[in-house]
Amino acid sequence: MSFGNCKELRKAYRYSQLKTHYNTYIYYTEAGHRGELTIKAVISDNWHDTNLHLNMSSTVDGEITAIMKPITLPICQHDNSYQGEQVLAVFQGCSRDVKFLDVLQAAKLGIMCNFDCIVVTCSSLKWATAIEAELRVLQARNIISESVKILTVEDPASNIGSGAATLNALLVVTEFLSAHNGFTVMSPDVLDKSRILILHHSREYALEPCGKAFMSIPEIHAASTDQITGRSSNLENLLNIVSQMLENGPPGVWVCSTDMILTCTDVAVNWHSVKDCLLICSASDPDYATNHGAVRVNSDGVVSNILYCGALEALHNYTRPDGTVLVVSGLVFFSAELAESLLALHSMSPLDCCTYMGVDSGAEPMQMSLFFDLLVAMAADVSQDSFVSGQCGRWYDKKFCLEKTALAQRARNLIWNELSPYSVNAYTLGGKPSHRYLSNDTTGRQHSELLINRAGSEMLHHAALDVSIKRVGKCSILMNTFIRCENCCIGSNSLLKDCHLEASEVVIGENCYINGLAVNLKDEALVIPANTCVLQYEIHLENFSTAPVVIAFGMDDHLGSSQLLQLGQQQDCLMTAKLFTCGKESFRDALRLVGTTHCQENVDEWKKFSRLSLADVLVHQSLKDQFHKCWNIFFRVASDIIEKTLLEKSDVLITPYMNAACAYGREADLMAVLDSVAEGKMASEDLAIASRAFSCIADFLGAMAGNAGGLRSGPGGNKTWMCAFQLLMEGQVQKGALALKQERLKWMDRPDRMMRAARHYEGALQVLIRKAVHTAEKYIITAPASQLPPFGVWAVAECPARMDLFGGWTDTPPICYELGGSVINIAVLVDGQKPIGAKARRLHDRPQIVITLLHDLVPEKIEITSIEDLLDYSQPGARGALLKACLVGSGVVEIDSKNKLSEQLLARHSGGIELQSWSKLPQGSGLGTSSILAAAIVAALWTAVGQTFDKQAVIHCVLHVEQLLTTGGGWQDQVGGVTGGLVHGSSQPHLPLHVDVEILPLSLEFCHRLSNHFLLLYTGKVRLAKNLLQTVIRNWYTRETKVVSCFKELLHLCKTSVKESFLQGDLEAIGKWLDHYWQLKKILAVGCEPSFVARLMGLLKPYVHGQLLLGAGGGGFLCALTKEPCQAGFIQRLLDRSQGMSKVTIHKVEVDMTGLRLSVGTENIELDSSIHPC
At 1, the amino acid letter reads: M
3-class SS string, 444-496: HHHHHHHHHHHHCCCCEEEEEEEEEEEEECCCCEEEEEEEEEEEEEECCCCEE
Bridge partners of 833? 830
Predicted local confidence at residue 1052, as pLDDT: 96
Cβ-based neighbours of 513, under 8 Å, separated by 6 or more: 207, 444, 445, 447, 448, 494, 495, 532, 533, 534, 555
Alpha-carbon gap, residue 912 to 792, rounded angstroms: 10
352 in helix, strand or coil? helix
Predicted local confidence at residue 224, as pLDDT: 54
Say yes or no: 945 and 1035 in one domain.
Answer: no
By residue range, what is the domain housing residue 1100? 1005-1151
Question: Quick check: 709 pLDDT over 50?
Answer: yes
Q: Of 929, 936, 916, whose CA–CA distance to 797 is shortest?
A: 936
Question: Quick check: 811 pLDDT over 50?
Answer: yes
Predicted local confidence at residue 35, as pLDDT: 46
DSSP string, 747-808: G-SSHHHHHHHHHHHHHHHHHHHHHHHHGGGGG---EE-SSPPPTTPPEEEEE-EEEEEE-T
At 87, the amino acid letter reads: V
Long-range (24+ apart) CB contacts under 8 A made by 844-848 are 844/791, 844/792, 844/910, 844/911, 845/911, 845/912, 846/911, 846/912, 847/901, 847/902, 847/903, 847/905, 847/906, 847/911, 847/912, 848/901, 848/902, 848/905, 848/912
Confirm if 124 and 155 have CB atoms less than 8 A apart: no
User: How many other C-beta atoms lie within 10 A of the C-beta of residue 409?
Assistant: 16
Confirm if 911 and 842 have CB atoms less than 8 A apart: yes
Say yes or no: 497 and 610 in one domain.
Answer: yes
Mean per-residue pLDDT, 772-792: 93
Say yes or no: 873 and 885 in one domain.
Answer: yes
Give domain status of residue 885, yes or no: yes
Q: Over the stretch 1044-1057, which tens digit does the pLDDT of each residue have?
A: 999 999 999 999 99
Confirm if 872 and 880 have CB atoms less than 8 A apart: no
CATH, residue 1129: 3.30.70.890
Alpha helices by DSSP H, listed for 945-1024, are 951-965, 972-979, 1004-1013
Q: Range with the lowest mean pLDDT among 29-43, 454-468, 721-735, 1083-1097?
A: 29-43
Say yes or no: 276 and 415 in one domain.
Answer: yes
Alpha-carbon gap, residue 883 to 863, rounded angstroms: 12
Say yes or no: 767 and 783 in one domain.
Answer: no
Say yes or no: 914 and 1035 in one domain.
Answer: no
Predicted local confidence at residue 512, as pLDDT: 97
Say yes or no: 871 and 892 in one domain.
Answer: yes
Pairing of strands 546-554, 277-284: unpaired
The whole-chain average pLDDT of the chain stands at 84
150 in helix, strand or coil? strand
Say yes or no: 809 and 906 in one domain.
Answer: yes
Pairing of strands 836-843, 912-919: antiparallel
CATH, residue 835: 3.30.230.10
Give domain status of residue 1158, yes or no: no
Domain tally, the chain: 6
Strands, DSSP E only, in 44-116?
51-60, 63-67, 71-74
Give domain status of residue 1097, yes or no: yes
The alpha carbon of 397 is separated from its chain's Cα centroid by a whole number of angstroms, namely 47
DSSP 3-state helix, strand, coil percentages of the chain (rounded to 5)?
40, 25, 35
Say yes or no: 649 and 713 in one domain.
Answer: yes
Say yes or no: 1026 and 1011 in one domain.
Answer: yes
Confirm if 35 and 28 have CB atoms less than 8 A apart: yes
Give domain status of residue 280, yes or no: yes
Give domain status of residue 632, yes or no: no
Give the CA distances from residue 826 to residues 180, 920, 1010, in Å, rounded to whole numbers and listed in that order.
63, 18, 10
Looking at 953, 981, 1001, the residue that finishes a domain is 1001
- Phi, psi dihedrals of residue 385, rounded to the nearest 5°: -65, -45
Give domain status of residue 243, yes or no: yes
Alpha-carbon gap, residue 271 to 249, rounded angstroms: 6
At 433, the amino acid letter reads: P
Alpha-carbon gap, residue 710 to 45, rounded angstroms: 38
Predicted local confidence at residue 856, as pLDDT: 67
Mean per-residue pLDDT, 848-872: 88
Question: Quick check: 8 pLDDT over 60?
Answer: no
Mean per-residue pLDDT, 1068-1082: 96
Question: Quick check: 606 pLDDT over 60?
Answer: yes
Alpha-carbon gap, residue 589 to 576, rounded angstroms: 18
Predicted local confidence at residue 266, as pLDDT: 78
Question: Quick check: 868 pLDDT over 70?
Answer: yes
Question: Quick check: 144 pLDDT over 70?
Answer: yes
Give domain status of residue 138, yes or no: yes
DSSP string, 907-948: HHHSSEEEEEEEESS-TT-SS-HHHHHHHHHHHHHHHHTTEE
Looking at 58, 75, 104, the residue that finishes a domain is 104
Number of helical (H) and strand (E) elements in the chain, helices listed first: 37, 46
Confirm if 740 and 764 have CB atoms less than 8 A apart: yes
In this prediction, residue 500 has a pLDDT band, given cuts at 50, 70 and 90, of: very high
In this prediction, residue 40 has a pLDDT band, given cuts at 50, 70 and 90, of: very low
Looking at 773, 790, 814, the residue that finishes a domain is 773
Cβ-based neighbours of 474, under 8 Å, separated by 6 or more: 492, 493
348 class by beta-carbon count within 10 Å (0-12 exposed, 13-18 middle, 19+ buried): middle
Largest separation between any pair of C-alpha atoms in the chain: 116
Q: Over the stretch 895-949, which tens digit does the pLDDT of each residue have?
A: 988 899 999 999 999 999 999 999 999 878 899 999 999 999 999 999 999 999 9
Q: Of 761, 734, 748, 742, whose CA–CA distance to 677 is shortest?
A: 734
Per cent of the chain over pLDDT 90 is: 58
At 597, the amino acid letter reads: T
Whole-model pTM: value is: 0.83
Question: Quick check: 591 pLDDT over 50?
Answer: yes
Say yes or no: 246 and 393 in one domain.
Answer: yes
Alpha-carbon gap, residue 76 to 53, rounded angstroms: 14
Cβ-based neighbours of 317, under 8 Å, separated by 6 or more: 296
- Phi, psi dihedrals of residue 482, rounded to the nearest 5°: -125, 130
The alpha carbon of 985 is separated from its chain's Cα centroid by a whole number of angstroms, namely 32
Q: Over the stretch 1115-1155, which tens digit does the pLDDT of each residue have?
A: 789 999 999 999 999 999 999 999 889 889 999 999 999 99
Q: Of 452, 455, 491, 459, whose CA–CA distance to 478 is shortest?
A: 459
Q: Over the stretch 536-590, which tens digit does the pLDDT of each residue have?
A: 999 987 766 788 999 999 999 988 765 554 444 455 688 888 888 888 888 888 8
Q: Over the stretch 1010-1047, which tens digit does the pLDDT of each residue have?
A: 999 999 999 987 765 556 788 889 999 999 889 999 99
Give domain status of residue 1163, yes or no: no
Question: Quick check: 494 pLDDT over 70?
Answer: yes
The alpha carbon of 1024 is separated from its chain's Cα centroid by a whole number of angstroms, namely 26
Say yes or no: 232 and 344 in one domain.
Answer: yes
In this prediction, residue 394 has a pLDDT band, given cuts at 50, 70 and 90, of: very low
Question: Quick check: 410 pLDDT over 50?
Answer: yes
